[in-house]
Structures are given as structure tokens and as C-alpha cells.
A and B are shown apart, each in its own frame.
Chain A
Amino acid sequence: MNSMNRTRGTGFSRREFLRRAGLTTFTIGATPALLAACGDDTTPATTGPANAGASPSVPPASGTLDYFSWEGYDAPIDEMKAWLADNDVELNSGYIANHDDIQAKLKASNNSEGFDLITYYQGYKPLYAELGILATIDDSKIPNLAGLNEFWTNDPKHQWLNEDGTRTGVPWTFGSIGITYDSTKIDEMSSWFDLLDPSLKGKISMPDDPVGQFTLTAHILDLDPGACPKANLADVVELNSRFVAQAESISPSFGDMTTKLVSGDIVACYQGWAAMNSFAAAEGVDTVKTNLPEEGSFTFADMYAIPTGADNVDTAHAFMNQILEPEVNARLAEFLVGAVTVDAAVDLLNEETLALYPYEDIEGYLALAPLYNNPPIESDEFVTQKEWTDAWQEIKAAGGA
């Protein structure tokens, strides 16, 4: 997911979310920023092959770790706070309001700011590879990779493992899109097309997330959003327009959609998210549910990654290794209302978080809600990101069908 503001589960007050959303949402890093204070480790990030010959060992963590990504993905849980304190690591976090802030800021500063740790949603791998902003991760420094669920050890689409086997991302959580709805106002819907019922006119919303909207709508039409023939763009536009025409509004964030559900302005969401159940519960409304319709949807998997301008690479590796500790992976999933990628973490999840995803058959689940790539930046054959983004703006401006 890219163009959305996320907020983190129950560890985050609504007031704080609104404040941060207001402060960060529309800031664009257009000019080179000041260099952050750097850590002691002067090991630069490389793009060369992993250190295959060394024995597995976690490098010592120290100094300042400069993080730049979603708020909450810097793992503000007790287990990680203790780890940071024990290793005398200062976590210097910069937050994004939109996934595109990552590449925009890194490219605007030519990776000179010294960020050590970022995240990326799997669909962004092709773009980030083209921009050359992902450094190679040394698997030998992250022994906890061995604890990943088997699904995450392979990567046929090369979204976290390159073709040559080198690694650019460490998958640590995932989540899927579904229909989020107020169960006191409507029954669970088995199909996305149920949202087009005339009785729901003006009672649904969706996030202002062009890539997410395109991915979901293309999936419903049984098209691959990462390789959608240009001839099919009109079909995607037509179907998406119908959903937009049903909508009361386009929300700037999932938090905003939650607010609308809580206030009763809407009853359901096209491109909802299970985390919204918790956001609503935090506002005193525990009747918001999310379900996966029969057509399925898409899954987002988040990777930790090291940008090429990093200067505290060892600590970044140590941090990622710690995130893959079963206890940490489980607690973080509960905090973020997401899923775990570590096998041993599944048994450590609380009942509520465990119920979100069918860990007994992850592969089957992800066949129904696949991990797609984003539309390509340039292509003569497939719908590009610009073509869809322009189409999305036109759909919004026209108010849908």
C-alpha cells in the first residue's frame, strides 16, 4: 500500500494520530535535508554479493540508527525498546505520510542523508531496483532468517530476493485488503460487487490510494496489476468508476475512513483493512469487521531494507535480526494488527491477532490475495503507473460513473 496514512493499532491515540497526520501528510522533501548525526559504524552499504563465506553471526549494534518509514514500523514495543537500551542504540526515526515519500526523499537528497533503515511494500521492488536505492542485505548477519515461514524463503517474483539470490528486503509482516464494514448496519458481504447495491449509494468510502485502487480493481477483473495490458485499462476504469460513484467520499487515509465508520457517515469501505477494526475499537466502537470476499483481494508484505546511503549497516542488520525473534515478531504483529512471517511467532500471538490470517495455509490464502507488483513506470505493453494515476484523478474529479 502506498498513498495512505497508517496509524498503529492500540498503542496510538486518535488525537496523536490526527496531530501527526496533519503535521506530516503534506510535507514534501523537495530540497536536500541536513545530514543526520551518524552512528559510530562506518561500514558503508554495498550493492555487491552477500558475504557467503562467513559463519552466521549478528554484528554488534551501536550508535545511531536512522530510520525512515511508517510510524510504528520502527517497532515502539517494549521488547525492542529494551533491545535498543541494552545495545546503547539511539533510534532516530523519520516518518512518512505516503510510501512515495521514501523514494522522493532518498532521490532528492541523492541518498546522502545517511538513513540506515527503511521499509518497502513488495510492489515497490521494481521501482526501487530501477532507482538503485536498495543495498544488498548480508544474510549471514541475520541468522533469524532461518525462522521464517517457508513461504517467505522463496521469492519467484523477486520482490525481496534478486534473481542471483542476493537479498534486498527482509519480510517481517503482511496484511490483506478486505471489505471493512459496520456490522450493526449491514451484514457481511460475500462479494465486492455487493458494495454496488443501490441501498449503499453514498454510504461507502475508499482511500485515496491510486495504486491500491488499481491493484484491487484489476484483481477483481482477474488481471495482474503489475502486468495489465493497456487494452484492459478501460475495463479497470469502468469498474473502479462504479465504486467511486457509490462513495460518499474518498478518504485521505485509513484512519480517516475509520473516523467515518465510527461517526456513521459511511457503513463500508472498498479497500478496507483489518487494522481498522482495532482503530474503531480504540474509539469505543467494536462492531467494525473486515472480511475477505469470494473474489479475494491483494496482500501487502512489508520488508525492512537498507538504503544505499546507509552508514550504520551493522546495526541495521542487528535490528532486522531482532525483529525476526519470535517473541518480537509476535508482539509487533499485535501492535500493528498485522501478520507474522516467523513460524515460531504464530503460537505466541494472542487470540485476536491469530484469527486475522489462516497460518495453517498461508500459501493457499496468498493465492486468493496475491502479492502483486505495482504498475510499471514505463511500458509500451502494460498500463503504467502514470496512466493509472491520471485515470484515478479523472475518476475522482468526475465523481465516478
Chain B
Amino acid sequence: MASVAEETRPPAEPRRVGRSIIPALPAAAGLVAFFLVPLLVFAVYSVLTAQLYDVSAPFTLDAYGEAVSSRVNRTLATNSAVIGLATAAVTVAVGLPIAYWLRRSAGRLRIPVLFLIIASMFASYLVRIYAWRTVLGANGLINNGLQRLGLIDEPLDFLLYSRFAVAVALVHIFLPYVVLVLYAAMGPLGAGLLEAAQDLGAGSRTLWRRVIIPLMAAPAASAFLFVFILSASDYVTPQFLGGTNGVTLGVQVQVNFRTLGNYPVAAATSILMMAAFLACYLLSSLVLRLLRLQDIRFVN
């Protein structure tokens, strides 16, 4: 990547702890109670010995061995990764230009479009899934339209009950979040910075390649991870739209817990999924660091 704007930071002031953390205590307590404690319970379950719908001593790593060696888990993990990566890539690729347009060119349309984006998030998750079935189905809007135009003789089967359908629905669901995140991140992307780049000879392609994308790399990476994690762990949409190969790893966690009563394997699979997502986060941080994009700040 070409050089980007960097900031000369003044020396950091010493932090004041104590009273400053008091406002954060309720949120921290909530995080501990509703995230860390359940996570700890899960971790303990994952190293206990499985009984039928129960656990007991001794501690053992058998559940992790079973979770990793399971061929089913590996297949479903691949499904999850494919769906997650495809959804995240498309969502960020589509969301970035939309966010830029909203910031730079929308004008009077900015507020109405933002309102529409936010309003779309109020629709029920299941209603949106079923709406896509109406659009993508054999007798849906797209197939009917194409048949009436004479472009196809038979409905396009791949539109629905496929990974394509899952990705489309998930992009639709997560796009508003990505647009809003990137829109907020572009706040400091002032006209002066872009004009300065153009004054220095940057065309629109160079502007994007050497100014906008480097500045947006970290927020875009965050958005990408956000969508990837949620998509890869989603198992509602694949069940309704994914067809015979639309099963993701989350389903297997459910099966182990609910149908087989094997709590340790269910917990171990969940912990391993979390570890994989954490690894993705660390990898993205490393990539940004190597590309020297992680410390970019806007200059006022």
C-alpha cells in the first residue's frame, strides 16, 4: 500500500483511574454477569465428562478431541466459513460506496436514506427471510419476471435453497449495520483532505486507493469481522434458505446440546468457534499492523 497520512502525536497524558471508571461500572457488571460468567460456565462444562443430559468429574479434554476429530464438524465449519466470508466481503464491498455517497454526495437525500436504512432494521428477522423466499422462489418475483420477459423457460433453481440465497439474505440483514458503521467512521473524512489530495494530482481511482481505503481500512476490517462472525455462526437463515447443504456449525452445537444431551461436546464446539473467531480478529489486526494501517488517525 502507498504511503498514507500519519499523525505526529503529542505525548500521552497520564491516565486518571478511580472516579473515571465509576460510570462504566454498571456496564462492566453487566458484561461480567451476562457474558463472562456464562462463558466460564461453558468452559467448565467443556472439560467435564459427559453423562446423558448431565456432566460429572473427572476433568478431561475428550470433548475437544471429539469436536475436532468429527468429520461432521469439519464439514459444517467449512460451510460456515464460506457463508461468512462471502457475506462479509459482499456486505463491506457494497456498504463502503453507499456510506461514502451518504457522506459526500447525498445532499438532501442523506437524512431520508439514513432513515430508510434504520427503518429496515426494525423488520422482523424471520419476516425478512420469508420475504426473500417470495422473491427468489420458483414462482417468485425474479423467476416470474424473467419468464415473462422470455429470458428463461424454466425457473432458476439456484436462486433459492442454496448458499447463494443464504448469502443474499444475510447481506440484506447486515448491510444496514455496515453502512451505519462506515458512515460514522467517515465522519472526519472532510472535504479539505480530499481536495488536498486532488490538488496534488489524485484522480478518483487514486483518491480511493491511496486516501479513502487506507483511512477506512480499520473500520472496514471491523465491519468485515462483525459480519463474518455473525454470518458464520448464523443457523436460522441457512435452515430456511440454505437447501440441503445449508447447515452451519451452530446447528451441530444445538444438536449436541438438545438432541444428544452431550453438554461437554456442545460447549467445546462453541469454545472452539470462539477461538476461531478470535484468531480471525488477531489475524486482521496483524495484517493491518503489517500494512501500517492500524494507527491512522485523521488530522484536524
Knowing A22-B126, A26-B236, A399-B244, say if A130 contacts B52 (CB, 8 Å). Answer: yes
Bound-complex Cα distance A265 to B162 (A): 13
Interface bits A231-250 vs B (CB < 8 Å: 1, else 0) = 00000000000001101111
Q: Which residues of chain B (197-239) have a CB below 8 Å from chain A?
A: 235-236, 239
Stretch touching chain B among A68-76, A99-107, A154-162, A300-308:
A99-107
**Interface size of A as a range:** 35 or more
Is A252 in contact with chain B by the CB < 8 A criterion?
yes
Contacts of A400 in B (CB 8 A): 244
**Which of the candidate stretches B67-75, B109-117, B186-194 sits at the interface with the other chain?**
B67-75
**Whole-angstrom distance between the Cβ of B58 and the nearest chain A Cβ:** 20
Query: In the bound complex, how far is the Cα of B127 from the Cα of A89, in angstroms?
Result: 36
Interface size on B, residues (CB 8 A): 43
Residues of A within 8 A of B139 (CB): 263-265
**CB of B160 within 8 Å of the partner chain:** yes
Choose the segment among A188-196, A315-323, A359-367, A386-394 that binds chain B (4+ C-beta atoms closer than 8 Å): A386-394
Q: Are B259 and A396 in contact (CB under 8 A)?
A: no
Q: CA A250 – CA B162 in complex, angstroms? A: 11
**One of B52, B235, B243, B260 near A249 (C-beta < 8 A):** B243
Q: Give the residues in chain B near A265, CB-CB below 8 Å.
A: 133, 137-139, 160-161
In the bound complex, what is the Cα–Cα distance between A288 and B252 (angstroms)? 33
* Interface flags, A187-229, vs B, CB<8A=1, else 0: 0000000000000001000001010000000000000000000
Q: Which residues of B contact A290 (CB under 8 A)?
A: none
Cα A78 to Cα B19 in complex, Å, equals 62
How far apart are A374's CB and chain B's nearest CB, in angstroms?
10
CB–CB A393/B53 < 8 A:
no
B6: Cβ under 8 A from any A Cβ: no
Flag if B244 contacts A249 (CB, 8 Å).
yes
Per-position binary interface string of chain A over residues 149-169, scored 1 when its CB falls under 8 Å from any chain B CB and 0 otherwise: 000000000000000000000
Beyond A249-B161, A399-B244, is A22–B259 a contact (Cβ under 8 Å)? no
In the complex, what's the smallest C-beta–C-beta distance from A241 to chain B, in angstroms? 10
Nearest Cβ in chain B — how far from A22, in angstroms? 4
User: Which residues between 38 and 76 of chain B lie within 8 Å of chain A, taking CB atoms?
Assistant: 38, 52-54, 70-72, 75-76
A397 touching B243, Cβ below 8 Å? no
CB contacts under 8 Å to A, within B67-87, are: 70-72, 75-76, 79
Residue B298 lies at the interface, judged by CB distance under 8 Å to chain A: no
Within the complex, the shortest CB–CB distance from A160 to chain B, in Å, comes to 21
How does the 8 Å CB contact mask read for A17-46 relative to B, with 1 for contact and 0 for none?
A: 011011001101011000000000000000
Which residue from chain A places its CB closest to the CB of B240 in the assembled complex? Answer: A252
> Which residues of the partner chain A approach B54 to less than 8 Å between Cβ atoms?
107
Most buried by B among A18, A245, A249: A249
* Interface contact B247-A202, CB-CB below 8 Å: no
For chain B, residues 244 to 272, give those with C-beta under 8 angstroms from any C-beta of chain A: 244-247, 251-252, 254-255, 257-262
The residues of A that contact B239 with a CB separation of less than 8 Å are: 208, 250, 252
- In the complex, B125 has a CB within 8 A of chain A: yes
Q: How long is the Cα–Cα vector from A252 to B133 in the complex, in angstroms?
A: 14
Q: Roughly how many angstroms separate A385 CA and B71 CA in the complex, as a whole number?
A: 17
User: What is the CA–CA distance of A343 and B124 in the complex, to the nearest angstrom?
Assistant: 46
A248 and B244 CA atoms in complex are apart in Å by: 7
- Of all chain B residues, the one with the shortest Cβ separation from A103 is B53
| Across-interface contacts of A130 in B (CB, < 8 A) | 52
Would you call A139 an interface residue if the criterion is a C-beta within 8 Å of the partner chain's C-beta atoms?
A: no
The answer, yes or no, to whether A116 is at the interface (CB within 8 Å) is no
Shortest distance in angstroms between B267's beta carbon and chain A's nearest beta carbon? 10
Query: Once bound together, how far apart are the Cα atoms of A22 and B124, in whole Å?
Result: 9
Indicate whether B101 reaches chain A with its CB closer than 8 angstroms.
no
- Closest residue of B by beta carbon distance from A130: B52
Per-residue 0/1 for A81-103: is the Cβ within 8 Å of any B Cβ (1 yes, 0 no)? 00000000000000000101101
Known: A249-B161, A263-B133. A26 touches B235 (CB 8 A): yes
Contact in complex: A21, B259 (CB < 8 Å): no
- State which of B38, B76, B127, B257 has its C-beta within 8 Å of the C-beta of A397: B76
A131 touches B52 (CB 8 A): yes
Residues of A114-150 at the interface with B, using a CB-CB cut-off of 8 Å, are 130-131
Query: Which B residues are in CB contact (< 8 Å) with A19?
Result: 124, 126
Bound complex: CA A103 to CA B262 (Å):
12
A-facing mask of B160-197, CB < 8 A → 1, else 0?
11000000000000000000000000000000000000
In the complex, which residue of chain A has the Cβ closest to the Cβ of B248?
A397
A112 beta carbon closer than 8 Å to chain B: no
> Are B53 and A30 within 8 A (Cβ)?
no
A279 to chain B, nearest CB (A): 15
Query: Does A334 sit within 8 A of B, measured CB to CB?
Result: no
Complexed CA–CA distance, A130 and B157 (Å): 46
- Complex: how many Å from CA A400 to CA B243? 11
Q: Determine if A77 is an interface residue (Cβ-Cβ < 8 Å).
A: no
Q: How far is the CA of A173 from the CA of B257 in the complex (A)?
A: 29
Q: Is A256 an interface residue (CB 8 A)?
A: yes
A389→B259 contact, CB < 8 A: yes
Q: Which residues of B contact A244 (CB under 8 A)?
A: 244
> In the assembled complex, which residues on chain B have CB atoms less than 8 Å from the CB atom of A247?
244
Contacts of A252 in B (CB 8 A): 239-240
Specify which chain A residues have a CB less than 8 angstroms from the CB of B125 in the assembled complex. 22
* With contact pairs A256-B240, A263-B137, A397-B245 given, residues A107 and B75 touching in the complex (Cβ less than 8 Å): no
Chain B: CB-nearest residue to A108:
B53
Residues of B within 8 A of A377 (CB): 52
| C-alpha gap A202/B155 in the complex (Å) | 12
- Which residues on B sit within 8 Å (CB–CB) of A18? 126-127, 130
Q: Enumerate chain B residues within 8 angstroms of A249, measured Cβ to Cβ.
A: 160-161, 242-244, 246
Q: In this assembly, does A287 line the interface, its C-beta being within 8 Å of a C-beta of chain B?
A: no
* A397 cross-chain contacts in B, Cβ below 8 A: 72, 75-76, 79, 245, 247
CB neighbours of A47 from chain B (8 A): none
**Residue contact A104 to B258, C-beta cutoff 8 Å:** yes
What are 17 A-B interface contacts by the 8 Å CB criterion? A19-B124, A31-B38, A98-B258, A100-B258, A100-B259, A107-B261, A208-B239, A249-B244, A256-B240, A259-B130, A265-B137, A265-B138, A265-B160, A377-B52, A385-B259, A393-B76, A397-B247
Q: List 8 other contacts, CB 8 Å, given A249-B160, A256-B240.
A: A107-B53, A107-B54, A245-B244, A252-B240, A264-B138, A393-B76, A396-B245, A397-B247
Lowest 10 CB-CB distances: which A-B pairs, in order? Answer: A107-B53, A22-B126, A249-B161, A397-B75, A399-B244, A100-B258, A393-B72, A264-B139, A252-B239, A100-B259
